[in-house]
Amino acid sequence: MNEKILVLDFGGQYNQLIARRVREQNVYAEIRPYNKISCEYIKINAYKGIIFTGGPNSVYDEKSPHFDPEILSLGIPVLGICYGAQLMAFLAGGKVSSAFDKSEYGNTILNVEKSPLFENIPKESRCFMSHTDYVSEVPEDFDVIATTKNCPVAAFSSSVKKLYGVQFHPEVTHTEYGRTIIRNFLYNICHCSGDWKMDDFIEKTVTKYKKELAGKKVLLALSGGVDSSVAAALLYKAVGDNLNCVFVDHGLLRKNEGDFVENTFKDRFGMKLIRVNAEERFLGKLKGVTEPEQKRKIIGKEFISVFEEEAKKLGKIDILAQGTIYPDIIESGKDDSAVIKSHHNVGGLPDVIDFESIAEPINDLFKDEVRQVGLKLGLPNELVYRQPFPGPGLAVRIIGEITEEKLNILKEADAIFREEIDRCQQKTDTNQYFAVLTNTCSVGVKGDARAYGYVVALRAVTTDDFMTAEWTRIPYEVLEKTSSRITGEIKEITRVVYDITSKPPATVEWE
Ligand code: XMP
């Protein structure tokens, strides 16, 4: 069992970031909503430390999230962040006030006192504040250990009780020594040893599944995305040829992508991989369909049918494996009706296939950890750092009816754009980039003749989370080269445009 930290979620926007910051320091962290667990649960789980997250409320609000004050007497170190710090002060008998005239948002200078929490941090540094309420009186036996110009209690602690509160956000990168503060909490205060390492994770997971799945027939739907690929590579190490991967190639993948997936798993790894070439079947079903949601539904339904047909051919299946990852299953403490987010991999898989149970080997990992595991297992960079790609594939990037001709045109244009961006990756700070085949045709001149062809749009976005995104300022010379290559190499395209809309108001995909 790994040592672990509890991130007690009070509905803050940075709960996942806090857990990732802890894990970066080689300590396992799990997120639990405040309203779904008790002190009893915490005791049984023997956490090395607890972090109270921020949250949007004021501790005096009737509806604000609270917790059993006993949590502060369990002898487990606690770090309260922002709302979490105010709640700690409140539960321990301190006072929280509203700072309407003094509310702080943004970077400010932090002055720290000597404390195990602030080891190796200069007296003055930059921190990120975002609050209206503040701790106006620390509880008895607590000391103020940091201040800012507007905040008399930027941090406080009782080193005897191992309780620490910080009004600022150490988890965000704007806080200059945020990582050090989190590290100090984990190692100086919780006395963690740092046993969360990806090499160990691989070894432990493989050993576990070797035992649990011995002699069982395992089925996994491989999409070519990083999650299902890493799940497959891990399980292959555990069960070898008992792992049956089915890769449904709906023909809507990017240029050469189907072959790349097949070569990687079949030739490089020697895995049993069933590739179903179902392009004709999917295009047949999509014939005449122009409405985006309908396209998605048809593809989803057909995908399951094809997968089921293949699975049935394999005979009895014992275990269905899935590449579910941690963010897919985190419950949120944002409100009382917290629900587990349903994942696109989870929701839609077959009920027709009989299986004993589900194996989800990476459901404890964040995306960056999945990538680390993938690299350690020897998966190619291209796959591990693959940009996000919608399940319905290029179908959402062809506006209007999808035909084989349009699909081929888009594949070529998209490949050229990606090639040109990849060539100057260090100059373009972009997280996702692709081409879209619009439903508009336009006049052009090719050679000496008038040409009438498609308008292709290029899309590139810069984003952390894909919930919001900026259009990427791609250097003109890259756009120019891409445009002249696309119009020169693809006779059906007469015009190339660049999408300069951020999200919101637009979305990343055009649909
Ligand atoms: P939008 O277009 O909603 O896209 O701004 C946000 C991100 O999600 C990706 N996307 C999908 N990913 N299955 C996925 O796994 C899907 O059906 C899907 N649709 C959109 C999109 O590429 C972008 O990164």
What is the reported pLDDT for 350?
59
With 90 as the cut, is the pLDDT of residue 73 above it?
A: yes
Domain of 481, in residue numbers:
404-498
Q: Are 342 and 294 within 8 A, CB to CB? A: no
Task: Indicate if the pLDDT at residue 266 is higher than 50.
Answer: yes
φ, ψ at 140 (rounded to 5°)? -55, 145
Q: Is the four-CA dihedral 373, 375, 380, 382 of positive or negative sign?
A: positive
Is the alpha carbon torsion for 229, 234, 236, 242 positive or negative?
Answer: negative
Same domain, 88 and 148: yes
Last residue of a domain, one of 161, 189, 217: 189
Catalytic residue check, 124: no
Q: Give me the mean pLDDT over the 201-229 stretch.
A: 96
Q: Any alpha helices (H) in 14-95, and if so which ranges?
A: 15-24, 39-44, 83-91
The answer to whether residue 506 sits within a structural domain is: no
Atom of ligand 1 nearest to the CA of 509: 2
Predicted local confidence at residue 99, as pLDDT:
72
Furthest-apart CA atoms within the chain: distance in Å: 87
* Domain of residue 430, CATH code: 3.30.300.10
* Residue that is last in its domain, among 189, 219, 245: 189
Whether 511 is in a domain gets the answer no
Structure tokens at 328: 């897919």
Does 74 lie in the same domain as 56? yes
The pLDDT of residue 30 = 96
Closest CA to ligand 1's atom 11:
390
Residues whose CB is less than 8 angstroms from the CB of residue 465 and which lie 6 or more positions away in sequence, other chains included: none
82 labelled catalytic? yes
The verdict on residue 394 lying in a domain is no
- Angle of the 279-286 helix axis to the 292-313 helix axis, nearest 10: 150
Query: Do residues 349 and 460 share a domain?
Result: no
The band of 207, judged by pLDDT with boundaries at 50, 70 and 90, is: very high
Q: How many CB atoms lie within 10 A of CB 95?
A: 15
Structure tokens at 52: 């109270």
Task: Check whether 436 has a pLDDT greater than 80.
Answer: yes
Query: Is residue 114 located within the same domain as residue 162?
Result: yes
Same structural domain for residues 245 and 157?
Answer: no
Instruction: Give the position of tokens 């406080």.
Output: 156
Please tell me the predicted confidence (pLDDT) of residue 92.
97
Counting from 1 in the atom list of ligand 1, the atom nearest the Cα of 506 is: 5
Check residue 347 and give its pLDDT.
43
pTM of the model: 0.89
Q: What is the mean pLDDT of the chain?
A: 93
User: Has 169 been annotated as catalytic?
Assistant: yes
Q: Is residue 124 part of a domain?
A: yes
Least reliable range by pLDDT among 92-106, 144-158, 255-269, 458-472: 92-106
**Distance (Å) from CA 331 to ligand 1 centroid:** 21
Output the CA 126–ligand 1 centroid distance in Å: 35
Least-confidence region, from 176-180, 303-307, 432-436: 303-307
Residue type, 372: Q
- Judged against a pLDDT cut of 60, whether residue 468 lies above it is answered with yes
**158 and 64 together in one domain:** yes
Alpha carbon distances (Å) from 25 to 126, 193, 452: 21, 10, 58
Using the predicted structure, report yes or no on whether residue 475 has a pLDDT greater than 60.
yes
Catalytic residue among 3, 82, 245, 257: 82
Helix (H) or strand (E) holding 143: strand 143-147
Q: How confident is the model at residue 340 (pLDDT cuts 50, 70, 90)?
A: very low
Measured at the CA of 53, the angle between CA 164 and CA 198, to 5 degrees, comes to 95
Residue with the nearest Cα to atom 18 of ligand 1? 390
User: Which of 229-233, 346-350, 420-424, 478-482 shows the lowest per-residue confidence on average (mean pLDDT)?
Assistant: 346-350
**Bigger pLDDT: 132 vs 407:** 407
Residues 168 and 204 in one domain: no
Predicted pLDDT at 349? 58
The per-residue pLDDT for 353 is 74
333 versus 276: the higher-pLDDT residue is 276
Average pLDDT over residues 257-277: 95
Report the range of poorest mean pLDDT among 28-37, 67-76, 234-243, 326-335. 326-335
The per-residue pLDDT for 348 is 53
Domain count, the chain: 3
Residue 392 lies inside a defined structural domain of this protein: no
**363 and 459 share one domain:** no
The predicted-structure confidence for 97-122, as pLDDT tens digits, reads as follows 987 666 778 899 999 999 999 999 99
